A and B are shown apart, each in its own frame.
Chain A
Amino acid sequence: MQTGLEDQLGLYQKRIPIFTRSVKGKFRRFKTSVLVLAYAIYFLLPWLPWSRLDAPAQAVLFDLPGRRFLIFGLTVYPQDVIWLALLLFIAAILLFFVTGLVGRAFCGYFCFQTLWTDFFIWIEYKVQGERPARVRLYRQPWDREKVLKVGGTHALWMLASLWTGLTFVFYFAYAPQLLLDFFTGQAAPAAYITVGILTLSTYVAAGLMREQICTYVCPYGRFQSVMYEPETLAVHYDVRRGEAAHGRAAARAGQRTLAERREKGLGDCVDCGLCVQVCPVGIDIRDGLQYKCISCGLCIDACNTIMDSFNFPRGLIRYDSEKNLASPTPAAPTLKWKRLKTIGYGMALVLMSAYLVYSVATRGNFNHTVNQIRQPLYVMLSNGDIRNRYQIRITNKAAQAQTYDISARGIPAEALDLGNFSEITIKPGHSALVQASVRLPLAVAAPTQRFELVITPQGKPAEATAEYVRFDAPGKRP
């Protein structure tokens, strides 16, 4: 008989709803602590006041119209974009480093998708009850109770999503004013669009799609497994202990104690299924390590609870390495970091972090760029002198206005002409353009390849910076 495509497994699989059972244990406690800490920072930080002279009193404010980020005492200008590059590099390396050591720790404990899903599941649990109650509610027809409970859950999700979106935009404008403007219809269109998109995406991602984001959408989830090594600690089910000779079996009479089970050749797994019920991505960890596992550790908590109740030793599901599990004499799982890859990532991490700290700590109070005017490169004047022109842009990054002197080294002092402004005063956070020209007699111009422009903040000679600038004359260079 010929089989058509329709007879084979479809490419599309309908989502099977997951109703997670709540669980207690050290991993649950850790996840909750991370969640509370992360939410406290994210939701409260925009409301932290910070006294400033020339900007809103908000500790963290990404002032896009002003082209600056105000982060506590630090003001970041577009010129400091290298910090962003460093920060992204450090974040990426940190991800690689941690994944090589303890698997997808980022996914399981820190990723905002996991955090928000966790929070949304908690709302669901508070409104609709524990797993059996939620399963019953899912199966029952749309009566009053179901409409109220399910509707209430979604309403609360929406509210949480809205506040998530609002909090995001609070980082970009003075929060109290923006909140007022937002609900009186006076905020900028960009604010409404951003809040709208974030509210919707939070609601869809954390409420409706949940683990499908990790499985189908997220690229990190897929490529993080590439960084696993045999020594990497990950959430594993101890197959040898759990299945033994004759597989797992329920704890019926006659196979309730460890001694009885050993005698019958049964594994330690009592097949209670709790590890599956608590799993937020709906997998069975006993099938082995798999790409859907976000390594949140909740199955470890669940299994340990059961092991305790049967007085079996803990750790049937535990953080362990593939290598250790496969060895004939498994040792206690330990963190193995003495590997080339881990050490390499670790060093890159330390070096780049050190550089970022150094760069932030030693940033000058101003910076400047000098552009030689290239049209024309040089001008011959009526007496035969050669003139080159330059544009000097100075950005004042200090918190107060500053006056700068510009001078030259390597050419006669009178050769530098700054036009109408021999010194320039710049407001904090602003930049100014100075036109300078250098005039040299042909005999001096010909051998002069370059000279040094020195910019000195008045009263702070130690902060002066110098830059070599090119000087062009006819027939000198290609």
Chain B
Amino acid sequence: MSEQKLQSQTVQTTGHAWDGDLQEYNNPLPVWWVYTFYATVIFSLIYWTIYPSWPLGKGWIGGVSNITYVNSAGETKTHSWNTRALLVADMNQAAVAQKPYFDKIQAMSYEQIAKDPEMSGFILSAGRSLFAENCAACHQAGGQGVVGFFPNLTDDDWLYGGSYEKVHETLMGGRRGYMPAFGEVLNGEQIDQLANYVASLSGIEHDAAKAGAGDMLFHSETAACFYCHTAGATGRQDIGAPNLTDNIWLWADVPAAGTAEGKVAAIRSVINNGLNKGVMPAWSGRLSPEQIKVLAVYVHELGGGQ
């Protein structure tokens, strides 16, 4: 009995008793825990008032806080707070910061831009992100392109010309490269002869006899290659006909072929099948004139300036 009395003094119970002596300890939550809980309740109430919280049919309860920003046109806009509006505000803030640079670029000529270190620095960073967003999908992040699909922008060979104006023109209007499939008009032997001749132009190992015949064919009305590629086979930039005498290969993946036969075969395949995939979209409607100007300088710079 005395034991029980002692226990009731030291141990708090809930006061209930079952089956005569079964009792339950009263162990309340720690005070700090309880107050922290109350604090979180109060916090959430404040949060609901300030920020968007509860869904409401198709919308939500907006909260009292607002986001105000100035867009690049100089207008002040206000939205109720949400992360999307926050992003829009951030984007506008960046656009406002970039505006003086873009305005300056619009007013400057390409030659002036090239000589201005500050502008060149801006184009290097702004151009990089523009290129990554719009061009890198085809031309790759560094502009190195993919042989057989997309031209390499970092070499010194330009299908349509590498001056600022030509690059600008390419960006604005896009390009469409085309070569007819000669498999339809020439027989296999003729195509083989042409392939050997084209290989000989770049100093690739070839059959001299076939190349000689190919030379004749190249400059004849039968194949009429010289119409586009010119009699010297150096190509025409006004129609995007490539120079066949240099070391740059876009369509026939000659560098990847291990053997001389493989290289000739790669060329033969292009002559036989022709090309209809050299399409670059026009960017004039998608990018602003200043952005295209930045890209023109950036791409020009990638090729080392030609």
Contact = CB atoms under 8 A, between A and B. Distances in A.
Contacts of B124: 433, 435
Among A376, A387, A417, the most chain B Cβ lie within 10 Å of the Cβ of A376
From DSSP, what is the main secondary structure of chain B's interface residues? loop
A377 to B, nearest CB: 9
B261 interface: no
Contact of A432 (B117, B142, B157, B255): B117
A437 interface: yes
Interface string B122-146: 0010000000000000001111100
Contacts of B10: 4, 6-7
A373 B153 CA distance: 14
B247 A384 contact: yes
B114 interface: yes
A380 B141 contact: no
Interface string A383-403: 110010100000000000000
Contacts of A6: 10-11
B120 interface: yes
B305 to A, nearest CB: 6
A335 B143 CA distance: 69
B304 A382 contact: no
A1 to B, nearest CB: 6
A421 interface: yes
Contact of A387 (B117, B243, B247, B304): B304
Given A380-B155, A432-B117, A1 B246 contact: no
B36 to A, nearest CB: 16
Nearest to B157: A382
Contacts of A4: 10-11
B305 A419 contact: yes
B246 to A, nearest CB: 3
Contacts of B157: 381-382
Contacts, number: 68
A420 interface: yes
A383 B246 CA distance: 6
B169 interface: no
Contacts of B304: 387, 389, 417, 419, 437
Interface residues of B, number: 28
B207 interface: no
B142 A375 contact: yes
A15 interface: no
B121 interface: yes
Contacts of B155: 379-382, 387
A374 interface: yes
Contacts of A384: 247
A313 B8 CA distance: 57
Contact of B142 (A376, A380, A421, A474): A376
B117 A424 contact: yes
A379 B152 contact: yes
Nearest to B136: A375
B248 A1 contact: no
Nearest to A1: B3
A432 B121 contact: yes
A419 B301 contact: yes
A376 B248 contact: no
Interface in B259-306: 301, 304-305
B155 to A, nearest CB: 5
Given A1-B3, A4-B10, A380-B155, A375 B140 contact: yes
Interface string A359-386: 0000000000000011110011111100
A415 to B, nearest CB: 13
A58 B246 CA distance: 63
A7 B12 CA distance: 12
Contacts of A417: 304
Contacts of B1: none
A424 B301 CA distance: 17
Contacts of A380: 155, 247-248, 255
B142 A374 contact: yes
A373 B142 contact: yes
B115 A379 contact: no
B144 A379 contact: yes
Nearest to B142: A375
B56 interface: no
B120 A420 contact: yes
B17 interface: no
B108 to A, nearest CB: 13
B243 A382 contact: yes
A440 B141 CA distance: 24
Interface string B159-199: 00000000000000000000000000000000000000000
A417 B117 CA distance: 16
Given A420-B120, A424-B117, A381 B305 contact: no
Contacts of B120: 420-421, 435
A419 B156 CA distance: 14
Contacts of A382: 155-157, 243, 246-248
A245 B37 CA distance: 57
Contacts of A425: 117
A280 B3 CA distance: 44
A373 B301 CA distance: 13
A350 B213 CA distance: 83
B133 to A, nearest CB: 16
B71 interface: no
B6 interface: yes
A434 to B, nearest CB: 9
Contact of A381 (B115, B140, B247): B247
Nearest to B154: A379
B20 to A, nearest CB: 19
Contacts of A474: 255
15 contacts: A6-B10, A6-B11, A375-B144, A376-B152, A380-B255, A382-B155, A382-B157, A382-B246, A387-B155, A419-B301, A420-B115, A420-B120, A421-B117, A425-B117, A437-B304
Given A1-B3, A382-B156, A389-B154, 8 more contacts: A4-B11, A7-B10, A373-B142, A381-B156, A382-B155, A382-B248, A420-B114, A432-B121
Interface of B: 3, 6, 10-11, 114-115, 117, 120-121, 124, 140-144, 152, 154-157, 243, 246-248, 255, 301, 304-305
The 7 closest A-B pairs by CB, nearest first: A375-B142, A382-B246, A376-B144, A382-B157, A384-B247, A379-B154, A420-B114
